[in-house]
């Protein structure tokens, strides 16, 4: 595990994403107060409060990569290095739902990272989980489905072994998935029931420029939104009769941006995880960003965020800090 994390740390450094100083778990306060408003240029009288809700086990490879929230507050999480999918209850209990088999070569041919990992995850309304697995192996890299009560996931779409499938989003109206490939610099689509994979966009704005390109992805308000880690951008691509329209760069200067989530029902407020800088930021409709959470709140290379009402769940994988993978819960100020 330590070797894997050192490999990733070297890759991050080579990509210009600084390795941050580790913060011991006992140094993070149970709650912090920050007079910040999502997407605002000025402080608010209503604070953001945060706490570390769950500490994961680094020695077991429990490096949380992505999250999907259930209606009861359960967080469905992919543990990257453990190749697992888990359910984390609101009380902090963690239950492993499935473990993907390691490829015969141990995953050393997984592009860039050199270890097999579970990545993006989506939960549909019936409780079925869909998630991505990148292994560098044509026989196992792909999109998987795990129905409630099942313990063995089924691969429903094969993906290129020389890519790194990363972010996953679901369009319930069109009944299809959108997924990013951070190495190939693409967004692809797959039907709800699986089957053939179609490259939907390979626009240059999605390309990697040294490490990882297209990363997080969401579908919102008639558009596909994605991040580019290398380029530090948040992108909006309108969906026009199922096809991509022109790419608009919605925000820039977001070094090491990973996953993101929308606040509320519209698309005017975004919360995003900046992995290398060890921060979570709010981004407004004009593309302006504002720091909401930092390492002082317990962040350890945040990889993904989810928003339910005013609560933001932030997962940290500790890829380069190597100290405390965790789940931080923060409360946004009332608007």
In a 10 Å sphere around its CB, with 0-12 CB exposed, 13-18 middle and 19+ buried, how is residue 95 labelled? exposed
pTM: 0.89
Q: Name beta bridge partners: 117.
A: 134
d(CA 32, CA 127): 34
CB contact set of 262 (below 8 Å; sequence gap of 6+): 218, 220, 269, 270, 271, 307
CA atoms within 13 Å, Cβ hemisphere of 139: 7
Using a pLDDT cut of 70, give the percent of the chain over it. Answer: 86
pLDDT of residue 123: 98
pLDDT of 265 higher than 90: no
Residues found in the chain: 335
Q: Name beta bridge partners: 242.
A: none
Q: Is 9 helix (H, G, I), strand (E, B) or coil?
A: helix
Q: Count Cβ atoms below 10 Å from residue 222 Cβ, excluding itself.
A: 12
| DSSP secondary structure letter of residue 22 | P
pLDDT digits (tens, 9 = 90+) for 25-36: 333 333 333 333
86 to 54, 79, 286: CA distances (angstroms): 13, 7, 36
In a 10 Å sphere around its CB, with 0-12 CB exposed, 13-18 middle and 19+ buried, how is residue 173 labelled? exposed
Give Rg (Cα) of the chain.
18
Contact 296, 279 (CB under 8 A): no
pLDDT of 253 higher than 50: yes
Structural domain boundaries of the chain?
Answer: 1-55+264-302+321-335
What are the φ and ψ backbone dihedral angles of 12, each rounded to 5 degrees? -65, -45
pLDDT of 110 higher than 80: yes
How is 187-250 classified by DSSP, letter by letter?
Answer: EEEEETT----EEEE--GGG--SSS--EEEEEEETTEEEEEETTTTEEEEEEEETTEE---EEE
Q: Name beta bridge partners: 59.
A: none
**Tokens 């941050």, residue located:** 20
3-state secondary structure 67-97: EEECCCCCEEEEECCCCEEEEECCCCCEEEE
**Pick from 312, 334, 303, 262: nearest CA to 63:** 303
The confidence band for 98, taking pLDDT boundaries of 50, 70 and 90, is very high
CA atoms within 13 Å, Cβ hemisphere of 223: 18
d(CA 97, CA 205): 36
d(CA 132, CA 194): 12
pLDDT of residue 275: 96
pLDDT digits (tens, 9 = 90+) for 74-84: 999 999 999 99
**Pick from 25, 44, 24, 26: nearest CA to 36:** 44
Contact 84, 117 (CB under 8 A): no
pLDDT digits (tens, 9 = 90+) for 200-251: 999 999 999 999 999 999 999 999 999 999 999 999 999 999 999 999 999 9
In degrees, rounded to 5, the angle at the alpha carbon of residue 306 between the alpha carbons of residues 304 and 312 is 105
**Tokens 């949380």, residue located:** 64
pLDDT digits (tens, 9 = 90+) for 172-203: 999 999 999 999 999 999 999 999 999 999 99
């Amino acid at each position: 595990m330590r070797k894997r994390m050192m490999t990733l740390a070297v890759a991050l450094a080579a990509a210009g994403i600084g390795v941050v100083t580790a913060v011991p778990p006992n140094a993070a306060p149970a709650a912090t107060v920050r007079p910040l408003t999502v997407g605002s240029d000025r402080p608010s009288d209503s604070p953001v409060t945060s706490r570390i809700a769950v500490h994961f086990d680094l020695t077991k490879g429990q490096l949380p990569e992505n999250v999907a929230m259930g209606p009861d507050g359960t967080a469905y999480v992919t543990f990257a290095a453990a190749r697992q999918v888990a359910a984390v209850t609101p009380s902090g209990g963690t239950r492993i739902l499935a473990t993907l088999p390691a490829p015969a070569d141990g995953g050393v041919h997984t592009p860039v990272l050199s270890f097999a990992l579970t990545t993006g995850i989506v939960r549909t309304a019936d409780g079925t989980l869909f998630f991505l697995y990148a292994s560098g192996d044509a026989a196992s890299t792909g999109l998987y489905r795990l129905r409630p009560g099942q313990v063995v996931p089924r691969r429903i779409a094969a993906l290129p072994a020389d890519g790194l499938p990363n972010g996953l989003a679901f369009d319930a109206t069109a009944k299809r998935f959108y997924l990013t490939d951070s190495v190939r610099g693409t967004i692809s689509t797959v039907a709800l029931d699986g089957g053939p994979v179609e490259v939907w966009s390979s626009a240059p704005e999605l390309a990697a420029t040294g490490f990882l390109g297209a990363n997080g992805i969401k579908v919102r308000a008639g558009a596909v939104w994605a991040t580019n880690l290398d380029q530090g951008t948040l992108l909006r691509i309108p969906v026009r009769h199922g096809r991509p329209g022109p790419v608009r760069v919605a925000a820039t200067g977001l070094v090491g941006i990973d996953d993101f989530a929308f606040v509320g029902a519209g698309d005017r407020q975004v919360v995003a995880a900046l992995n290398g800088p060890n921060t979570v930021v709010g981004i407004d409709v004009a593309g302006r960003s504002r720091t909401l959470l930092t390492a002082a709140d317990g962040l350890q290379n945040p990889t993904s965020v989810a928003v339910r009402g005013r609560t933001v769940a932030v997962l940290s994988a500790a890829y380069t800090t190597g100290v405390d993978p965790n789940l931080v819960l923060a409360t946004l100020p009332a608007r």
